[in-house]
Amino acid sequence: MEDTRRDIGKDAVTYFEEGFNCAESVAKALCEALGLEGRTAVKTATPFGGGVAGKGYLCGAVSGAMIALGLSKGRVTSKEDKGPCNKVAERFVHDFLNEFSSVSCRDIIGVDLNSAEGRKKHKEHLRDEKCCPVVRFAAERMHNLIESSS
């Protein structure tokens, strides 16, 4: 059962600041808010941080949001309609692109996390400056979309 008093975005940022990666943070905050078991979501999200193992591909916050969406609205059998889940996913990506112009971690943060210089810049200020707003947005927007699709 959802706790409407929670600030989902703040929870996600708090988890991120505590050391969870972006994907784990968003998945964990969303699962908690939606009353879903979060341990599996966090474990599933682990390799998606930093755009898949820090490679800068699909933003981890997007991946974490999609993991929580799948747990919430995904299908269990091949006979079930995947349309409702995909509709929410499509809307989320549309909104995310409107906000950040890309779903690529490397494009959003502007550095290559595979380089020592990129990792240093990320650790020193980009986590707070770039990633925290992305984590907050992903958690809040996906939560709103899931809730409004129920």
Q: Is the pLDDT of residue 134 over 90?
A: yes
- pLDDT tens digits for range 88-123: 999 999 999 999 999 999 999 988 888 888 888 878
Evaluate whether 40 touches 64 at the Cβ level (below 8 Å): no
Tell me the one-letter amino acid at 133.
P
Q: Is the pLDDT of residue 2 over 50?
A: no
Helix (H) or strand (E) holding 8: helix 8-18
- Measured in Å, how far apart are the chain's first and last C-alpha atoms? 13
**34-44 average pLDDT score:** 93
Q: Is the pLDDT of residue 38 over 90?
A: no
Evaluate whether 60 touches 51 at the Cβ level (below 8 Å): yes
The two tokens of residue 119 are: 């990792």
Question: Which ranges of 35-150 does DSSP label H, i.e. alpha helix?
Answer: 38-45, 60-73, 83-100, 105-109, 116-121, 132-148
Q: Where are the domains of the chain?
A: 8-148
- pLDDT tens digits for range 40-60: 999 999 999 999 998 999 999
Q: Is the pLDDT of residue 11 over 80?
A: yes
Closest residue by Cα to residue 75 from 87, 92, 63, 65? 87
pLDDT (0 to 100) of residue 1? 39
DSSP reduced 3-state for 58:
strand
